Structure 1
C-alpha cells in the first residue's frame, strides 16, 4: 500500500518551515510531508507520487514562485487526485479564483496565515480523519456494489431457471404446452398478415398405453424422451416443437408448403420407425408414430383451428392402421 502525501506550497520559506514542523508533530511514517515554493514543481512531484501508487491527501496552498496560478494548480491536480483536501490561505484568493475552483475542483478549508488564530493541527487531523472515513465509505461501497452485483447475477440465474422450468417440459426438455402456444400464436398471426405458408403437425406415439402396460411407466417415459429427441433433431431450428401432454406432440413449420410439410412429417415417421430403445434387461423396444398434417388457410383465425384440423388428420391416421402420415385437405383426410 502507498503512502499519504501532504503537499505544502508557499513562497515564504519561514511559513513553509512552520507548516512542516506543525504537521510532522502529528503524523506518523505513513505520511510524507513535501514543501514547495514553486507550484509547477509541486504539480509534477504530485503526479510522480500518484504514478508510484501514493495518494495526495492534503494540499496546503499559498503564494508560489512560478507562473502557475493557484486555481490552475488545484484544477489540474483535481483531475488526477479528486479526493485531495485543498486548504487555501485566505489572502491568495479572489472571487474569480474561488469561482473557478468551486466549479472545477474542491476546497476543503480556507485559513489565515497567522496560525495563532486557528488550531492548525486540529484542521489537519480533521482532514486526515475525513479522508479515512471517505476511504472506508468507498471500500464499503465497493463491497456493497460487489454484493449487489453478485446477488443480481444470482437472481438473473434464478429467473432464467424459473423461465426454463415454466416453459420446458420437465420430462423431455422440449417446449411444454404453454410455451408451444405462446411461441406459435404470434407466428400464425404473422404468417396470415404476410400471406406466407405454414403447416402444423400433430404427432402421437402409437399404442403407447400398451408400452406402459408391458414395460412400466419408467420405460414409457424413456420412450417419450427418445421420440421427442429424434423429432426435434429431424425438424429445422426455425420450427416450433412441443409436448402438448401425455404422448401427444405438435410442431409448427413456418414457410412450409404442403409438399414440404408432408416430407417433414414422413422424415419424422421414418426416423421413429427405425429407432429402438434398449432396456437394462437388453430388451429392444421398437415403436411408431402417427402424424396429422394441416396447412394454414385464410379462414384460420388462430392456432386452435389449424391444430384441430391436424388433430382430425391424426385421428384418421390412427383409424387407418397407425404409423402413417395423413394430410387434412378440403374437409377430408388424405393419406400420404
Structure 2
C-alpha cells in the first residue's frame, strides 16, 4: 500500500523533531559535562577514590566547574584522577587548593570538591597536580563506632559498680550519703572554713592597708623613703664614720700616753710605780700638815701677845667695815 503525501510529511516532521531533540539532549549533556566549552586539564592523586567514576562532577566552592575524565591506578596506594575544568575558573584556583571526594547529597553519586586555598599562592596552570585529602571511609567510621560502643559498655559497667558501692555505703561518697554524723561534721568543717576564709580576707585587706600606709611620709618608713631624709641620714652616717675614725686615733694616742707613763722615767711613772716615793710624799704631806697646825698655834699666840694685839684688832675692824659696806 503506497503512502500518501500527508503521511510522508508527518514522517519527515517526526524524524526532524526527533533529530532536534537528540541534538538538544547531546548539547545539554555535553554542556553539563563541559564537552563544548573551553576546558583544560587538572590532576590530583588520591589513596582511595571511594567509588568515584568517570563523568562525575567537579565542584569548586559548591559550583560545578568540570567533570572527571580519567581515573588511573599508579600503584597500590596512589590513584591519579584527571579532571576537565572550565578555563575561566583557572584564574580563581590557587596552587594551594585541596581536592576531596564527597557525595552529592546523602545518597547521590560521588563528586570531587576543590577547596580554595589561602590565596597566597599563584594560580594553577593547565596540567598541574593539586594536593588532595582522603575522605574517611565508612569502614573506618564503623570501626571507630565499634570501639566507642565497647568503651561505653565498659564505662556503664564501672558506673554500675560505683553506684552499687555508694548505695551500700562503701567509700567516701557512700559514707557521706549514708552516715549522718559524718555529713554533720563535714558541714561544720565547711562552716569553719568559711569563717577562716572571711578572717583571711580581712587580714589580707588590713595588710594591704598597712602596705599602702608605708608610702605615707608621716610614719618612719615613709620618712626613710624620702630622698632628702635619706641624704641626711647618709651624711650623718658618714660623719659618724669620721668621728669613729677620730676616736680611734684619740684612743691610740691615749694608749701611747699610758704606755709612756708606765714605761717612761717621768714623775708620773715614779708616782705610779715607786712605792717608796709615795711613802715619802705621804710623810712629807703629814709633816706639812703638822707644820701648818703649829703655825696656826703660833699665830694664835701672837694674837694674844701684847705687842701684836693692836695690829690684829685693827685688821678685824677693817674686815667688819668692809662687810658692812
Give the alignment's TM-score, normalised by structure 1: 0.24
Higher strand proportion (structure 1 or 2)? 1
Structure with larger RCO (C-alpha < 8 A, sep 6+): 1
Higher helix proportion (structure 1 or 2)? 2
